[in-house]
Structure 1
Amino acid sequence: MTDMTERPCPPSNSHSFAGTVGRTIAESTPAWPAPIRPPAGAPNVVVIVLDDVGFAQLGCFGARIRTPHMDSLADSGLRYTNFHATSLCSTTRACLLTGRNHHSVGMGFLADFDTGYPNARGSVSPSAGTLAEMLGARGYGTHALGKWHLAGPAQMSPSGPFHQWPTGRGFDRWYGFLWGEDDQWAPELWYDQHRVDPPAGDGYHLSEDLVDRAKEFIGDHVTADPSRPFFTYLAFGACHAPHQAPREFIERYRGVFDEGWDVERVRVLDEQIRLGVVPPETRLAPRNPGVPAWDSLTPQERKLCARMQETFAGFMEHTDAQIGRLLDFLRQQALLDDTVVMLLSDNGASGEGGRHGSLNEYRYFLGLPDDFQDNIDAMDELGGPWTHNHYPAGWAQAGNTPFKYYKSYTFAGGIRTPLIVKPAAGSRVQPGVRDQFHHVIDLAPTILDLAGVSAPETYRGIAQQPLHGVSMRYTFHDADAPTTRDRQYFETAGQRGLWRDGWKIITHHQPGEPFEHDQWELYQVDEDRSETQDRAGEYPELVEDMVAAWWREAERYDVLPLDDRKRERAEAVDPAASVRTRYEFLPGTRALNRVLGPDFAGRSFTITADVHRPDKDADGVLLAHGRRAAGFSLFVVDNQLWFDYNLAGRHVVLTSDFPVPTGDTRLAVRLDRNGLGAEATLYIDDTASANCHLDRTLPGGFGCLSTQAGHNSPSPVSDRYQSPFRFAGTLRKVVVDLDNDQQDTAEEVWQAALAQD
């Protein structure tokens, strides 16, 4: 028998112990590690991100939309009028949370795509720690709320992996949605790492819910340990389409925009000049291609387009009211003075609504033109639960006044966004306008500077990239201080630009064209904010020098290889990924997207449910794909089998010719693709019961549409039931069999991903 005293001792952490360990307690001295804390006086930080909100859509930046709470932040703090984001959502958020350029951290484009190259992985590299990771390691409590869109589809599973979800990137708590957009009335929500239904009751709205939860997280934090500061990241779904808001907010703007977008742009520019948001000599950019003159529209067209803008304005003011609720909470809890608040938009306003806008933006991607009279008839429903509306491009350009183009462009309309910073009270900052050039990568260094926290060289054993941005703190006390930035590149899907020392080159690249054929434009943006005077012909040597500088920046920050692909990018799939054609769903389960679940787009398929109905009242959903905006559902109602195919609000409904039996039964639907359409057939115990023709089927790319077995939530695909409409009998399983006849949907995947960003 081995002598116990001769056994090797197990590893211990006593080497870091400050006390002493003897043979007994009497011979030992206890010690406790000091809690990890940032330097004394480190402020709380709240970062509020608006979605698709243009430079001119806040009152304090010239809008006629009422935003009193955001304006109050600006009045007590700083308005940055020469601030730049990237031109898309995922890319800006990656820059904001890491302080590095988006290509360098693997987010060269949307999180929807992993192209197989380091600069476009669809998630943030572990070599680029997030603000939550950096602040959390120094003792901050960290909370994320709202839109994430920094995890790829392959990582969106209820069973993980979760390392690119907010809770895997340094946030202690998270409540929000994973994709680029969501329904404000019925979102698909996640609480940390599990899905939750929106709170029950009439009048639910996502923006209100997010603020309620932010107050809860902050309240829990300061109750548990008021000595620790907190970092709260609140990323609204507003004001991305669908533009949805309570009716009373929309009604406040009835008739306000009847004079149209051309008049509105002139009024807004005048107000911007009065506020000092732009220099007095600033001129309006020309009307964007495809945007008609307001006076050229018919009276009915003007009526519809004005109502679309009224809806957006109501959405914007409603969002402001929720921000006011959060600020009131911080004020009531004596937290606001000790809190830095930053508010920005992720990119410029979106022009994806086209000439008239749409009641349901998915119709564009389905190839279903909006029926103009239908839109007129449904005007009073805009912003409500059964619409998924987007305003016309003319209002988006007005929202980007005085600039041209929109989100996804590297012109000012895509990348110039409002930024408001309210420092903590101890900063003694003189409120006002700041005009130094800055970029979204500068926000993380600023926050770290204010917190007294240094970016680590390693994090969890991984060497960290240096920060690419600089602190903006020098601007707090000196409105006239020269900018500390000398250059910044821009790139989105081949659209390129470079700002350097007050000059900017831009190229409007056409996908598929050789990059060497691009025509570079040159603007002296310190004097020509709206990029109206192309001076490339006057200064060809400067253009050549700046183009060479762009390529150097591209190499330095991993922009290469340049990728202007559309459909081909959507087809870029890891060859090691499995391609499944059969899925077995257990009741209550959910597949979140076409990568992890069935890809129904443009192909034939069969859905078969193995059920037991104890009686004729055993109704409910067998399998649903999607929600109110679009999708399809196979369900039992009134003792019949139903299949409702929802083409962006246009329903094709198929009902069985004979009743569904009680007891054990097999219920199925078969879709046989026929060009862009299909033939649909219902089966009860292998006997065909009914069939119909679909002129069009759902395209690829609707990442926001999940597939659910035995229920349909968060909103119903069909108006013949209310969510979740769980199947009341026994649902043993639902089998989805996909045929291998899928037509090419890559272009639709690309377009839908852009719309959902």
Structure 2
Amino acid sequence: MSNREFHGQIGRTYDESEPWWPEETRAPEDAPNVLMVVLDDVGFGQLGCYGGLVDTPNIDRLAENGLRYNNFHTTALCSPTRSCLLTGRNHHSNGMAGITEISTGFPGYNGHIPHENGFLSEILVEEGFNTYAMGKWHLAPAESTSAAGPYDGWPLGRGFERFYGFLGGDTDQYTPTLVHDNHQTEPPTTPEEGYHLTEDLAARTIEFIGDAKQVDPDKPFFTYFAPGACHAPHQVPQEWADKYAGEFDMGWDEAREKILEQQKKMGVVPEDTDLSPQNPDVKRWDSLSEDEQQLYARMMEVFAGFLEHTDAQIGKVLDYLEELGELDNTLVMLVSDNGASAEGGHSGSVNENRFFNNVPESLEENLEAMDELGGPKYFNHYPWGWTWAGDTPFQRWKRETHRGGTSDPLVVSWPEGIDARGEIREQFVHAIDLMPTILETVGIDAPDEVKGYSQSPIEGTSFAYSFDEPDAPEQHTTQYFEMLGTRAIYHDGWRAVRPWPFGKPMTTEDLSATTLEESGWELYHLEEDFSEAHDVASEHPEKVLELAQLWWTEAGRYDVLPLDGRGVQRFAETRPQPGKPREKYVYYPDTQHVPENAAVKIFNRDHSITADITVPEGGAEGVLLAHGARSGGYSLYVEDNHLRYVHNYVGIEEFEIVADDPIPEGEGSVRMEFEVTGEPDMSEGKGAPGTVRLYYGDEQVGEGEVPMTIPITMGLTAGLSCGRDAVNAVSDTYRDRTPFAFTGDITRVTVDVSGEPFVHEEAEMDQIMARE
């Protein structure tokens, strides 16, 4: 018997019956479309419309047709901020104190956004909106991002009808690890054919919007466009970087002064704003050698080209909406998720996988790479002097709770709904405020229930009141901050900050301190000191004590406790894993990409790879199992009818062992065995050396030495593939034939790991933290 509601009448025949159709859910009449653009690692002082030195004409035109907010704040880290944007709740309320790779077993830290905190997409899709997510996700628990799921934390599990992008924290722009809806997919073209991820994401966004608008032009959409730019790798076609040749030769010290001057002219900052003090972690530009200046300037040119290229792709989406006649009634909110990133270190990087494996980068080697920076060969990131300049006029950067980490651009444009054009708004706004603002704007109340889950209160405050009232009193007057143990609190124009040197564990005394003498809090009066340049804690001890106590009150309210300043230990915390630990991992053909966190770990331990295969008459070739990417990994493959094993040592050198005899035709097995012959030298970035032996059945057919191996990680964007080397080939030998799929038949490939795994916790913490 059907329990579905029916309001017609059912008689014995059609003539005696009355049909009825349920009323279709429609969005409120004339509700605007919503486009949320989330940039990655773009600082307050980098966009052109915020005084930056990079041309961003499309973002600038949004600002000219709308509003710029100069007091918008994030959490200082990517995933936590994104959870705030989409739920309207604080990051600890979302269980997202940090990225999910460093989750711990406490409510504010477990990396699982509760369904009681409904996503904006989950609300709008039930109210008659189409919902699309594009680009970076990084909001699902790390253990659930493989094909084993569960999928309830993926975009389609949180209210988005369509998704095209990547689930992790970053990916290669030329050879990304892509997911389409709930399945993995490969880029439609290659780098040689001109592929770039940001261009692909813009094209897919246009496709998704067009698919629906041509069928139901009155149905509004919510599109979450998060391109992953400008997170490392800073990759962009050379002509975009070359446009900026020589533009940054002045160095980061002079750049800061120039940016501040432009910010004052634009009114983005008050006229009396001072530059924050010299950053003790950044060398003065004039103290660098000529070679260092040349390299670092080029790294910034590449970043600038990357940012302008991203702006151009945003422009394509805006142009399409204008062509459809939809742009004027589209509420566009463009933000960055945290301050500029300092993950390139003091001297920048051309291959961050070397950094994560403790392999030093030399100035000489990086100078040799300079002409190819931004291309597919390198995973580059600028030095932190440019990070500091990118956060002008503030101090510090991403991961820290000074304004350099938390103050970001917010551009709002809605021509049909906002009369103001090109104006600045100074009211305090936080990432949790976007969701309630959007709901108010489209005319929808926050529901009491989503998907059967009773909803928690929304913690943000709508700032729609400020759209047409530039002098309206701010309504969000108190906001706590916490990131990796660093803390801050905003209240009625004052801001207290409790910093500590990044990477140094906090002591019990640090965590329990509440008095001025013990706490180490800094104090800034933002109404008089926009840039947090002048610490006035010693002048107002009573205000420091008041704000410090208020911070603890807010921390108790929003699941911030227990405060956790640990570094390495936090990575080593026991957390759920995809499957039970085992000694044998079995993979099957056409496995395209098993994420690094879910794949077998072979580092510094004896192991073997056995492939059960059938070789057709005349022979076969191709990859049996590959793990890693251009920046490092290993591959067992067949070429010229010979079994081969290659170990790519962090992109520096490839060690290959080749079987002496041709591979037999017919059904059989081939095997590689790795026997550790020495200890790893982690401080020098050298994994355990070993002897590799190749077998056909039980007959040894080859042997060779691998003098050093990758010690810690295959890389942030690497994965494991069976029967092919998906997208970003491990070895130069067959890179031009990627994916170099095996032309015989594979039954299974078994990786057997024995002995205790070797774990270097500090280095692993470094590599997962760069995914934020």
**Do Structure 1 and Structure 2 share a fold, with TM-score over 0.5?**
yes
1:28 to 8, 17, 31: 17
* 1:513 equivalent in structure 2: 507
1:333-377 residue CA offsets vs partner (Å, 9 max, x unmatched): 111011111111000110111122111112111111112111111
Amino acid of the structure 1 residue aligned with 2:674: R
* 1:614 equivalent in structure 2: 616
Q: 1:497 to 1:346 in 2, by over 3 A?
A: same
Q: 1:715 to 1:581 in 2, by over 3 A?
A: same
1:670 to 667, 674, 678: 674
SS in 1 for 2:538: coil
**Structure 1 contact 591–597 (Cα < 8 Å) conserved:** no
SS in 2 for 1:547: helix
1:85-124 matched pairs, under 5 angstroms: 85-124=74-113
**Structure 2 contact 236–309 (Cα < 8 Å) conserved:** yes
**Structure 1 contact 681–688 (Cα < 8 Å) conserved:** no
Deviation at 1:581, TM superposition (A): 2.2
Amino acid of the structure 2 residue aligned with 1:145: M
SS in 2 for 1:721: helix
Q: 1:446 to 1:701 in 2, by over 3 A?
A: farther
Q: Distance in 1 between matches of 2:762 and 2:134?
A: 32
Q: Distance in 1 between matches of 2:701 and 2:520?
A: 60
1:387-402 matched pairs, under 5 angstroms: 387-402=378-393
* 2:684 equivalent in structure 1: none
1:591-602 matched pairs, under 5 angstroms: 592-602=594-604
Q: Distance in 1 between matches of 2:635 and 2:594?
A: 16
* 2:283 equivalent in structure 1: 292
Q: Distance in 2 between matches of 1:55 and 1:298?
A: 29
Q: Distance in 2 between matches of 1:633 and 1:693?
A: 13
* 1:537 equivalent in structure 2: 538
**Structure 1 contact 113–570 (Cα < 8 Å) conserved:** yes
In the alignment, does 2:766 pair up with 1:751? yes
**Structure 1 contact 701–753 (Cα < 8 Å) conserved:** no
Aligned length: 746
Q: 1:615 to 1:260 in 2, by over 3 A?
A: farther
* 1:180 equivalent in structure 2: 169
Ranges in structure 2 where 5+ consecutive residues have no aligned partner: 514-518, 682-686
Instruction: Out of 404-413 and 524-533, give the one that drifted further.
Output: 524-533
Deviation at 1:210, TM superposition (A): 0.1
SS in 2 for 1:281: coil
Q: 1:20 to 1:384 in 2, by over 3 A?
A: same
Ranges in structure 1 where 5+ consecutive residues have no aligned partner: 1-9
* 1:405 equivalent in structure 2: 396
SS in 1 for 2:742: coil
1:78-89 matched pairs, under 5 angstroms: 78-89=67-78
Instruction: Out of 123-132 and 676-685, give the one that drifted further.
Output: 676-685
Q: 1:563 to 1:115 in 2, by over 3 A?
A: same
1:278-303 residue CA offsets vs partner (Å, 9 max, x unmatched): 11111111232321111011101110
Q: Distance in 1 between matches of 2:394 and 2:185?
A: 41
1:725-740 matched pairs, under 5 angstroms: 725-740=740-755
Deviation at 1:239, TM superposition (A): 0.3
Q: Distance in 2 between matches of 1:619 and 1:582?
A: 25
Q: Distance in 2 between matches of 1:526 and 1:581?
A: 61
In the alignment, does 2:465 pair up with 1:474? yes
Deviation at 1:636, TM superposition (A): 2.0
In the alignment, does 2:154 pair up with 1:153? no
Instruction: Out of 715-724 and 639-648, give the one that drifted further.
Output: 639-648
SS in 2 for 1:378: helix
Q: 1:575 to 1:214 in 2, by over 3 A?
A: closer
Q: Distance in 2 between matches of 1:439 and 1:247?
A: 36
1:532-569 residue CA offsets vs partner (Å, 9 max, x unmatched): 21111111121111111111111111111112222222
Identity of aligned residues (%): 45
Q: Distance in 1 between matches of 2:418 and 2:2?
A: 48
1:9-24 matched pairs, under 5 angstroms: 10-13=1-4, 16-24=5-13
Q: Distance in 1 between matches of 2:574 and 2:593?
A: 19
When normalised by structure 1's length, the TM-score is 0.96
**Structure 1 contact 643–655 (Cα < 8 Å) conserved:** yes
Amino acid of the structure 1 residue aligned with 2:570: R
Q: 1:34 to 1:429 in 2, by over 3 A?
A: farther
1:310-709 matched pairs, under 5 angstroms: 310-509=301-500, 510-514=504-508, 515-516=511-512, 518-574=519-575, 578-590=580-592, 592-614=594-616, 618-656=620-658, 658-663=660-665, 664-672=668-676, 674-676=679-681, 677-678=687-688, 679-685=690-696, 686=698, 687=700, 689-700=702-713, 702-709=715-722
1:458-482 residue CA offsets vs partner (Å, 9 max, x unmatched): 1122111111111111111011112
* 1:72 equivalent in structure 2: 61
SS in 2 for 1:301: helix
Instruction: Out of 260-269 and 573-582, give the one that drifted further.
Output: 573-582
Amino acid of the structure 2 residue aligned with 1:477: D
Q: 1:476 to 1:459 in 2, by over 3 A?
A: same
* 2:46 equivalent in structure 1: 57
SS in 2 for 1:498: strand
Q: Distance in 1 between matches of 2:267 and 2:125?
A: 38
* 2:516 equivalent in structure 1: none
**Structure 2 contact 593–726 (Cα < 8 Å) conserved:** no
Q: 1:68 to 1:598 in 2, by over 3 A?
A: same
SS in 2 for 1:427: coil
1:233-244 matched pairs, under 5 angstroms: 233-244=224-235
RMSD (Å), alpha carbons = 1.7
* 2:128 equivalent in structure 1: 139
Instruction: Out of 512-521 and 295-304, give the one that drifted further.
Output: 512-521
In the alignment, does 2:200 pair up with 1:206? no
Q: 1:463 to 1:640 in 2, by over 3 A?
A: same
**Structure 2 contact 657–692 (Cα < 8 Å) conserved:** no
